[in-house]
Structures are given as C-alpha cells and as structure tokens.
Amino acid sequence: MSITLVAVVLALVLGHVAPALVASFRQYAWYGAWLRWLGERSGGAGVWQARYGIVLAMVPVLLVVALLQWMLDGPLYGLPGLLFDIVVLVYAWGPRDLDVDVEAVIDAHDASTRRAAIARLGLTGEAATLDGPALVEAVFVNAMQRWFGVLFWFLLLGPVGAVLYRLSVLATQDECASTLPEENRLGARALKTVLDWPVAQLMTLAMALVGNFDTVFTAWREAGGTRFQLGTGFLGYVARASVRCELAEEAEEYAEEGMVQAMRELPELRDAMSLVWRILLLWLALLAVFVIGGWVS
C-alpha cells in the first residue's frame, strides 16, 4: 500500500509539473491497433465475434504484466518490482489530469473553446452546451475512470489490476469500441460495468463521509444503490444531489453572516471538483493509516 501512495502522488505531481512528458508516456494507440489486428484475423467469425471476445485481447497483455510483476518482485529486495508498480500505475492513471480538464472548462472565455474543453470530459453534441448537473455527473464519471477505478483495482490485484481496468475503459471508448463487433462491444461494456460497480459504491461512501451524509444516503437509496444490481447510474445522481446541497449550505452561510455571495462561474463544476479531491484525500488517508498500521505491527 505504501507503493500505491507513492505512485498516486507521483502521478498527480508529474501530471502538473511535466504534463507533456506524462502525455507522451500514456500512449494507448497500440491497443487500438491490437484490436484491429485481432478483428482482421478473426475473419468475421469465431470467439472474437462473441459477447466476451474482448478477453482474447486482454489476456495476452495481462499475462505479460503478471509475468513481469512476478519476475521483478524478488531481485534486489523488491526494488525493481517497486519501480515497475509505480510505472504501471502512472501509465494507467489518467490519461489526462481531471483537474486540468475541469479548469480548462472554467477558464474558457468563448463558446467554442468551452465546448472543446467540455468534450474532453466526454460531453459532446447537445450535451456539450449544458452546464450544472450534466457537468457534475461528467466530473464524477471521469474521476471514476481516470483515478478511482485504477486505484481500486491496483490495490486488489497490483499492476495487473490497473492495466485490466485501463484496458476495459479503452475498449468502451469510441476509438476502440468502433473496431469491435457488436456482441464483443456489449461484452466489453458489461465487463467495465462489473469493474466500475464496487468503485462507484466506495466513492459514494466516501462522498457521504466528506459531504452531507443524510443527503448522500437518501440520494443513493433513491437511485437504487441499495439494490445488488450492477450499474453505476446512482453515482451521478448522488453527486448532483451532494453538490446541490453544498451550494445551498454555502448560500445559507453567506445569508446568516449578512454577506453577499460573490457569483462564480459554473459553481457546480467547481464544487464537484472540490468534492472529488476530498474523496481522493480520504482514500489516501485511509491508505496511509493501513501503511502506518502495517509498519507498527
């Protein structure tokens, strides 16, 4: 777990200090080329056309990562394994820094620039012109796909888990998904949903702890989070409710103090990013507690 703490801090710091270097390192075009090659070799038949054909693409990559993970864990007191773990987590993190993309939306001064910035959060077409609730949900979906999903599966499975999650996300995005047969594409989405579900539940729990617990719990229950049904739609619903509550509480505090609240542009987006940071800090604080507990014991 100490490796995870170091790697996450490095991923965040490098993304701000050397964004060009990190962007050049996080290149996933090879995966799209690998999917196209498998599609060409399948000849329109076979397992590749089936619902979980995406496994054919993932397993060889994951086996290589697992082999390296095993081979590097022993020599030199595990130092090569430590470096490998950090490199893999930094590679799977992102691919862009969420807070940088959010700031780009906030700092955009014209409609076209803002639409382009919003598109980097996954909102395109008519959705790219929206603000408020749609942006809040986009921030949390991106936080799950860029940060928390990678972190959770790295904690469970090590580098293999981080790579598994990143490949599952890539397989459902337009550039790669368009190369997959229909059934294969549906299977890739189902796999990603399975990987996302526990992450979304833990993000919601952390949101309740760093925000308004009653609001989060009520929204989570209303959105069906209590049902053991794979799906992450409740995360966006809970995030919107939590942000609304925090903005209302902030306005009430200003009113009680007899102050006029300065109107900020896109306050929902700013508050959503603040909430995501608090969730991440809580996760890292819990990791630090486990690390300290391990050292003490």
pLDDT at 47 over 50: yes
pLDDT-derived band at 260 (thresholds 50, 70, 90) equals very low
For the stretch 79-117, pLDDT in tens is: 888 888 888 988 998 888 888 888 888 888 777 888 888
- Residue 149 corresponds to which tokens in the numbers above? 């999903």
pLDDT of residue 296: 44
Contact 168, 192 (CB under 8 A): yes
What is the distance between the alpha carbons of residues 64 and 207, in angstroms, rounded to a whole number?
36
Q: What is the rounded average pLDDT of the residues 36-48?
A: 81
Q: Which residue has the higher pLDDT, 117 or 66?
A: 66
Angle, CA of 245, 250 and 253, to the nearest 5°: 125
Contact 230, 197 (CB under 8 A): yes
- Residue 175 corresponds to which tokens in the numbers above? 């550039």
- Residues 6 or more apart whose CB falls under 8 angstroms from that of 228 comprise none
What is the distance between the alpha carbons of residues 200 and 206, in angstroms, rounded to a whole number?
10
What is the distance between the alpha carbons of residues 188 and 180, in angstroms, rounded to a whole number?
9
pLDDT at 293 over 80: no
pLDDT at 74 over 80: no
Average pLDDT, the chain: 85
- Residue 209 corresponds to which tokens in the numbers above? 């702890």
What single letter denotes the amino acid at residue 222?
Answer: E
The pTM for the full model equals 0.90
What percentage of the chain's residues is helix, strand, coil (to nearest 5)? 80, 0, 20
